[in-house]
Structure 1
Amino acid sequence: MSCTTHLTVLSEKASLFPTAPAFLVPELSSDGDKVQTWQPISYSQFFDDVELTARYWAAKLAELQLPRHAVVGMWLSGMTYVDLLHIYGMARAGYVPQLFSLRLPNPEVIYELLHRAKAQALVYDVSFDEIVTDSPLPKFVAVHPHIADVDDSIPLPLLSDEVNLDDTAMIFHTSGSTSGSPKLVPCSYRWLKAIIDKAAHVSKPLRSGQQDVTVWMGSMCHIAQTFMLIGALQYGFCTIQPSKISFSSDELLDMVHRCRLNRLNQFATYLGMHLKNSRKDPKLLAVLQGLDEVLYAGLTLAREEEEWAFQNGILLRNLFGNTECGAMLLSIGGKDEDSSYLRPIEGTSYDFRPTDPVSEDDAAHENVNARLLELVIRSDSGDCPDSSLRQADGHYHTGDLFLEVQEGCYIFRGRDDDWIKSENSLRCDTKAIEDNVRAMCGSLITECIVVGNGRPSPVLFVEPQGNVDAERLKKDIIRRTRHFHSRRYLHERITSTAFVIVVPRGTLPRTATKGNIRRRAVEEQFKAELDQIYGVAA
């Protein structure tokens, strides 16, 4: 049957809003520090560029005699308009993009994931030209195709072609490594249709008779920006490509004044920076107060920043999601705490199932008296991920825990496993790091724990065996664990002694009965030391 996809959405909106700007792309100063101007790209130009890029890849891959629907690995930053053209263009040419971001820099892991997905070619960013010389697959650099280089008579699949809803449309990967490698997240056309429906709900227009303007949130090789762009396209929004994802408050002001930005969506870590700066900058605060929506995702916003926003009339909205399902829960948005409570997005089929009695850690540290609930995505929900990711009961258990504070309203209370999220909201498997340290350095340490929630990278705390020289111990740990970390995402690596902290035996806070080290308590007890490591001003 025919199916709504991101490509059919683009085709329809390019006909409806041909001259409206779909993107504003920055032109940077010679030193790359400042945006000189923002160049508009219309919906019709975006559509034409995707068609051109699709014909470029159709011709290139025809040389390999690849069948339609073959998987093609795409190792890109996902941060630029040209990256987007390659991703959409590859799908338009009839192939299945397998998306890797530059945050996974180890080619061996890339090759393993390509093999597991049965990929038949690799497209990669030019920055990796020197390290993909041993690629097991035919490889192509992701260059910007030009009209002169492309035969416009090359046929493309009809957008109205019928598809099997259970066929794979694209492949993502979990943002954290499990057993040294991310997991494949195959995404079917049925799943994609559900994502489009949910994105339509999240991105409902806020300006009557005017174009909403939003901003690029993250890499198109991950689900967050993929989801947000699908929502933006459905309503003919304009999306600003910033100079970098962690853009400065000055650039935010520029986007509001020159680009008419009215909907700010960012990961909580980066939004927190603007909120912090607004305490000292009345102009920035006034701009934040004037936005129609300030949507954050990926992590929980620091309580003091959230309170500052509420007290100062900033219209916050919280979006909760993951790679496997896209966005799942959304707050109604507003200026008070009740407006921040999360609710399932319309059209979904979710359960909130009680877990075992409140954990000892939560009870001791958070004073949680209510029972924790795990979010479960039912098999009859269109966004329930591939069967390979579901549990034995056929449903997808997220591992995300919540408290129900009002009927149908929830607040996030962390995960039931050993993951933390880095500042850009990518997951880090702390248990895998700890297990490796114990295996490789068991004769050197008595205990260890990894922390760094909301930070750029993890930090390892260790309690040593006996009296040892701390610097020597740090070097030994880095040396013994070097191979393990070479295979991990950049945001999961510990490769410098600066990110290893040695404390006396028995120093790390533990639970009363089982003696388990309390990760959250370590974060709080050693906040000053962590701030110093990451260069955070007091």
Structure 2
Amino acid sequence: MSKTHLSVLESSASHYPSSPVFRIPHIDSQSSQLHWRSVTYRQFYNDVLLFARYWSRTLAQVRIPQRSVIGLWIGGYTYTDILHIYGLSRAGYIPQLFSLRLPNPDVIFELLAKANARALIHDQTFENVLGECPVPTYLAQQADRIDANGHPLPSLLDVEPSDLAFLFHTNSVVSKSYQVAVPRDSSRQDVTVWMGSMCHIGQTFMLLGSLQHGTCTIQPTTISFSSEELLDMIHHCGLNRLNQFAAFLAMQLRNARNDTKLLSALANLDEVLYSGMPLPREEQEWALRNHINLRNLFGSTECGATLISVGGCGPDANLLRPLDGVSYRFVPIDSDKAEAEHHSTARMLEFVVSAESGDCPDISLRHADGHFHTGDLFQEVTEGRYVFRGRDDDWIKSENSLRCDTKAVEDNVRATCGGLVADCIVVGTGRPSPVLFVEPAVDMDENRLKKEIIRKTRPFHARRYLHERITSPNMIVVVSRNTLPRTATKGNIRRKAVEEAYKTELDRIYGLIR
């Protein structure tokens, strides 16, 4: 039988039955103090089986067979969310995970249809918008409302490596996550922290690695938790490995510049792992000078984690290397592409996942040559060691490391506002949401132009993820014709150069400058 998340859980529950697997936050009603309660591996396993019985009984009542796709539209940030995900999977179904950041029910219904899903389990938030759902809907109950102890537990399904487990664009997560989560000191339990939603591959990957090593994962009160809460987790929960997306970690590092206790706590952690996008160079260099053991885990939605930095505090600490057991290529790109996005003549290499690599995505996502072209660009600094240099496509990553298709936004502006806009570009790397820069085609009052663009593009943005939407005139910047920085050869607007040239304006828009 193939090694799966379910077999990992069963094995870990057997090896570490009394060890805490989660620490769950609890606010004392009288003192308003934050506390964490422990959930053991044995309890987690038993709770998953309870939820498996519940969903097996519930879905069997409407004759939905095992191996059917079931939609899950939930937050993915809580212990109960994990029980729904793993319990549904243990019941023999294939979870199709939607996060709360995609709040348009019409889009959810379309995705359910494309996956031939048979039901939808949803957060209470969406109860009033599911009247036209094409499949039966079920509320994702809280744990204390689940009662299925009298229902038999279905047998584990026999699975092959090619069988569907989740509708995620990734493979080989068991072996790769094992590498990432190896403890520095095997004689004690590692303690780490939730870094994102279980509805996205990042946290699913990290949890799977943690389970394989008997690690405990703390659920913070919010993913963008404060430095005060971080210190609380270190002192009261024993946190020794901090995992955060880069934008959130940068905030901790900035705070540590003026807080010696925080700096000391960060420097004493076994590892400070960040992902999603690069840290600002200044933050990165300051952290290394202050002996913070940074590790950069590079990955993508389609492939999961792929590269990891050397680590430590030496000169090569930030250089990336491939994880073990994979098959990758770094292929030179032509100079026009390099100049268009990076204004650089340095040799750029595109990161390509070979067809024979265990984490190569489905064939429908591959290039004509049979391999998966990630669009990520690197330079080779020393043999087998790389530094990330941006992308060879039109995607950017937002503050929470989710991707935004800027070309789709720009194409929609050109299609719906062609008489108003001569040219445009979307920026916002590492920001909460994108900003649209436009060079107008007509002589029109600036505020009126912005409102017209919002009006004409509203139907398009209503179908986007929250982090991709431009729904306020405040997120549009109007500049004079032909003033945005462009490439010398083809005259294309340079996205990165726009972000650098207008950094002060962008900071003001996002409220970073008061």
TM-score band, normalised by shorter chain: over 0.9
Residue equivalent to 1:7: 6
C-alpha change, 1:205 and 1:27, in structure 2 (3 Å) is same
TM-superposed CA distance for 1:477, in Å, is: 0.4
Report Cα offsets for 1:60-104 as digits up to 9, x if no partner. 100111111000000111011100100000000000000110001
Match of 2:158 in 1: 162
Q: For structure 1, which segment, 52-61 or 390-399, has the greater mean C-alpha deviation from structure 2 after superposition?
A: 390-399
Q: CA deviation at 1:31?
A: 12
* 1: CA distance, partners of 2:101 / 2:339: 32
Q: How is 1:37-116 mapped onto 2 (pairs within 5 angstroms)?
A: 37-116=35-114
Alignment size in residue pairs: 514
- What is the aligned counterpart of 1:427 among 403, 407, 410? 403
User: Over residues 503-523 of structure 1, what are the superposed CA-to-partner deviations in whole Å (9 max), with x where a residue is unaligned?
Assistant: 111221111232111111110
Distance in 1 (CA, whole Å) between partners of 2:95 and 2:370 is 26
1:287 and 1:470, CA in 2 relative to 1: closer, same or farther beyond 3 A?
same
Say if 2:478 is the partner of 1:502: yes
In the superposition, relative to structure 1, how do residues 67 and 299 fare at CA in structure 2: closer, same or farther (>3 Å)? same
SS of the counterpart of 2:177? helix
Pairs within 5 Å for 1:459-470: 459-470=435-446
Give the whole-Å Cα distance in 1 for the aligned partners of 2:273 and 2:114.
36
Aligned match of 2:15: 16
1:393-426 CA distances to partner (integer Å, 9 max, x unpaired)?
A: 2211111111111100011111111011000000
Task: Give the stretch that moved more between structures: 345-354 or 485-494.
Answer: 345-354
Provide the secondary structure at the position in 2 that maps to 1:498.
Answer: helix
Q: CA deviation at 1:149?
A: 1.9
Partners of 2:482 and 2:359 in 1: CA distance: 45
Q: TM-score, normalised by structure 2?
A: 0.97
Is this contact kept in 2: 1:379–1:395, CA < 8 A? yes
CA contact (8 A) 1:196 1:230 kept: yes
Aligned-pair distance for 1:145?
Answer: 4.0
Q: In the TM superposition, what are the counterparts of 1:350-429 in structure 2 within 5 Å? A: 350-357=328-335, 359=337, 361=339, 365=343, 367-369=344-346, 371-429=347-405
1:227 corresponds to which residue?
205
Deviation at 1:155?
2.7
- State whether structure 2 residue 286 is matched by structure 1 residue 290: no
Determine the structure 2 residue equivalent to 1:335: 313
* 3-state DSSP of counterpart to 1:168: coil
* TM-score, scaled to structure 1: 0.93
CA distance in 1, matches of 2:162, 2:338: 42
Distance in 2 separating the partners of 1:3 and 1:436: 44
Give 5+ residue unaligned stretches, structure 2.
Answer: none
Q: Tell me, what secondary structure is at the counterpart of 1:72?
A: strand
Residues in 2 aligned to 1:444 and 1:91: alpha-carbon distance in whole angstroms: 50
Alignment of 1:154-303 (within 5 A): 154-158=152-156, 161-172=157-168, 185=169, 191=171, 194-303=172-281
| Residues 206, 104 of structure 1: alpha-carbon distance in 2 compared, 3 angstrom cutoff | same
Distance of 1:270 and 1:326 partners within structure 2: 20
Do the aligned partners of 1:360 and 1:511 also contact (CA within 8 Å) in 2?
no
SS of residue in 2 equivalent to 1:225: helix
CA drift of 1:336 comes to 3.2
Measured in 1, the distance between the counterparts of 2:508 and 2:33 equals: 31
Cα distance in 1 for residues equivalent to 2:52 and 2:325: 33
Distance apart, 1:360 and its partner CA: 5.5
Contact 1:310/1:337 (<8 A) preserved: no
What are the Cα deviations for residues 278-332 of structure 1, in whole angstroms up to 9, with x where unaligned? 1111111111111110000000110000011011111000100111111000112
Q: Secondary structure at the match of 1:171?
A: coil
Partner of 2:511: 535
Question: Which secondary structure does the structure 2 equivalent of 1:152 belong to?
Answer: coil
Do 1:378 and 1:384's aligned partners in 2 also have CA atoms closer than 8 Å? yes
Distance 1:31 1:298 in 2: 39
Q: Deviations over 1:36-63 (max 9, x none)?
A: 2001000000001100011110011001
Q: Which amino acid aligns with 1:375?
A: F
Q: What is aligned with 2:116?
A: 118
Contact 2:75/2:81 (8 A) holds in 1: yes
8 A Cα contact 2:80 2:143, kept in partner? no
Q: 1:296 to 1:169 in 2, by over 3 A?
A: same
Aligned-pair identity in percent equals: 58
SS of the counterpart of 1:513?
coil
- How big is the alpha-carbon RMSD for the aligned residues of Structure 1 and Structure 2? 1.7
* Residue identity opposite 2:57 in structure 1: A
Question: Is the Cα contact below 8 Å between 2:335 and 2:345 reproduced in 1?
Answer: no
CA distance 1:316–1:362, shift in 2 (3 Å) = farther
The one-letter code matched in structure 2 to 1:170 is F
Look up the SS of the partner of 1:166 in the other structure. coil
